Amino acid sequence: MQLTDLTMLELAAKLAERAVSSEEATRACLERIRQVDSKVRAFLRVDEEGALAAARASDARRKAGSPASALDGVPLGLKDIFLTEGVETTAGSRILEGFVPPYDATVVRLLKDAGLPLVGKLNMDEFAMGSSNESSAYFPSHNPWDLARTPGGSSGGSAAAVAAREVFGALGTDTGGSIRQPAAFTNTVGLKPTYGRVSRYGVIAYASSLDQPGPMARTVADTAALLQLIARHDPQDSTSAAVETPDYQADLEAGVRGLKLGVPREYFIEGIDPEVEASIRETLREYERLGATLVDVSLPHTKYALATYYLLASSEASSNLARYDGIRYGQRAKDARGLKELYALTRERGFGPEVKRRIMLGTYALSAGYYDAYYLRAQKVRTLIREDFTKAFQQVDAVLSPTSPVPAFKLGEKVDDPLSMYLMDVFTLPCNLAGLPGLAVPCGFTKAGLPVGLQILGRPFDEARLLRIARAFEREHDFFRRPAPL
């Protein structure tokens, strides 16, 4: 077993007993990246110098007997959407090529304060708009389980790096499934916290009422440990919730006996891959064996979630991305004549096709004469989708479903068909619209060896229960021990 095969908590234990140093662990990650990242292409840039300096500082704290946190010294990766002071951050876009942030995102500062060496910035769909990493302006990442396939998106680089054991864990962001879907595609765990649970300060915005950063790791306990470090109120994010952070490890092993788990009939639809459905059904039976009660629930407005999401997210994106104008940072069309042409040429050259498509849709939906018919109406349907969940959670403790209707698809397969690509997110979008926490946990493999992920949705701020439910299944299977065939 290599050092990089350890889980975060296993490494943390070895660091605590000083059987291994953070510098050794960080060098092991850097070596693994050198070995496999030419195939996986998870990293946009590796910060070897910064990571090793942080690792040596961590080792010094250990030696002095004053570690900064339970995960002090555990190397981590960051989706390239998190601002990192002094380290280029592009959000997968050409328009931010060369942008070196003057400050850290709150979550980055929290991780640095907790002593975690940050190994580098991970690939993503441009501005988090995509489900396959193919809209990255730089290159697509590859799924470690089948290099011809996507690791999912938009946090695909994060998922691929964790699955390929290039890092012990990573942070992603989830606007419509961008943590959970790549986790499901790569045999990793991904948690989208309740809206407001984790600060968005310094996280490059896509759709501000939906975006939420969260942890990605190989095990449920690692995910809980990482959430522990980043879940806290931040006065610099006015939508951050002033809610106590519980101890996420406390009830992790409590099991599911006596819990009521909802199975929404609208999530088992035509078009779902038969092997995915079979794997999820088997997982549901397993939960019954473990003592949970399955309850048939209905979320009747599920079929409207996709349309609602694309109108709201695109509208918010068209407004958020107005800041990329070539004036204060990022690329500028230097040959433009006059200010208007400078804006229009800078943006035309700086944005890729998916980003332009969503800016166009959002601008249209917000424009005079269409606002009520599209944007306002979508906000009202969003209320109906939220109410579906409120009603369901009067009956059940959590809702279980597939994370994605299909396993990882081939790179290039859907790139020319935006509507079919959008359909990939049909099970993950409603959670963001309702602001709820959602977790993807590995639950099996297809015959071809592609990972399948179970999705667990919960009440607001009920992350601890989601982790506990996920752990109950993981304890029986240990799929995370299985390495990707690299």
Partner 1 sequence: MALTLEQVRHVATLARLALTPEEEQRFTTQLSAVLDAVAQLQSLDVEAVEPTSHATLAASLLREDVMKPSLPPEKSLANAPAKSGTSFAVPKIIE
Q: Which of residues 381-420 bind partner 1 (CB under 8 A)?
A: 381-384, 386, 418-419
CB of 389 to partner 1, least distance (A): 11
Stretch that binds partner 1, among 61-69, 163-171, 237-245, 477-485 (CB under 8 A): 237-245
CB of 246 to partner 1, least distance (A): 15
448 by Cβ neighbours in 10 Å (0-12 / 13-18 / 19+) ranks as: exposed
Helix (H, G, I), strand (E, B) or coil at 122: strand
Q: Which residue has the tokens 């407005």?
A: 301
For the CB of residue 434, give the shortest distance to partner 1 in the complex, in Å: 7
Which listed residue (359, 396, 457, 466) binds partner 1 by CB under 8 A? Answer: 359
Q: Is 376 in the site for partner 1 (CB under 8 A)?
A: yes
Residues 130-159 that bind partner 1 (CB under 8 A): none
For 59, the token pair is 């080792």
Of the candidates 69, 131, 136, 178, the residue annotated as catalytic is: 178
Our finding on whether 361 is near partner 1 (CB under 8 A) is: yes
x-or-dash string of contact with partner 1, 447-466, rule CB under 8 A: -------------xx-----
Per-residue DSSP letter, 321: G
Can you give the length of the chain in residues? Answer: 486
- Binding residues for partner 1, rule CB under 8 A, total 77
Query: Smaller CB distance to partner 1: residue 222 or 462?
Result: 462
Contact 219, 189 (CB under 8 A): yes
Q: Which of 102, 271, 274, 485 binds partner 1 (CB under 8 A)?
A: 102
Which residues from 177-196 bind partner 1, rule CB under 8 A? Answer: 194-196
Binding range to partner 1, per CB under 8 A, among 70-78, 135-143, 149-157, 232-240: 232-240
As a whole number of angstroms, the distance between CA 152 and CA 154 comes to 7
Give the active site residue among 21, 22, 58, 79.
Answer: 79
Evaluate whether 442 touches 480 at the Cβ level (below 8 Å): yes
Question: Smallest distance, Å, CB 352 to partner 1?
Answer: 11
Nearest Cα to Cα of residue 4 among 119, 108, 84: 119
79 is catalytic: yes
Which 416-445 positions form the footprint of partner 1 (CB under 8 A)? 418-419, 432-435
Of the pair 293, 379, the CB lying nearest partner 1 is at 379
In the region spanning residues 265 to 284, those forming contacts with partner 1, defined by CB under 8 A, are none
E-assigned strand segments in 157-209: 169-173, 189-192
Asked if 132 and 421 count as a contact pair (C-beta separation under 8 A), the reply is yes
**Least distance in angstroms from the C-beta of 239 to partner 1:** 5
What is the CB neighbour count within 10 angstroms for residue 46? 18
CA 244 to CA 353: how far, in whole Å? 42
What does each C-alpha distance from 450 to 39, 74, 144, 285, 412 come to in angstroms?
Answer: 17, 28, 10, 21, 18
The phi, psi pair for 85, rounded to 5°, reads: -60, 125
Distance CA 397, CA 303 (A): 23
Relative to beta strand 118-122, strand 43-46 is antiparallel
Smallest separation, CB 241 to partner 1 (Å):
4
Give the amino acid at 102.
P
What's the min distance (Å) between Cβ of 23 and partner 1? 30
210 binds partner 1 (CB under 8 A): yes
Least distance CB 415 / partner 1 (angstroms): 13
For position 206 contacting partner 1 by CB under 8 A, the verdict is no
Within 292-351, the residues that bind partner 1 by CB under 8 A are 303-304, 306-308, 310-311, 318, 322, 325-332, 334, 336-345, 347-348, 351
Active site residue 178: yes
Question: How many Cβ atoms sit within 10 Å of the Cβ of residue 125?
Answer: 31
Look up residue 178 and give its two tokens. 């961008």
Q: Which is nearer to partner 1, 82 or 461 (CB)?
A: 461
Residue with Cβ nearer partner 1 (17 or 244) = 244
- Residues 433 and 308: beta-carbon distance below 8 Å: yes
Active site residues: 79, 154, 178
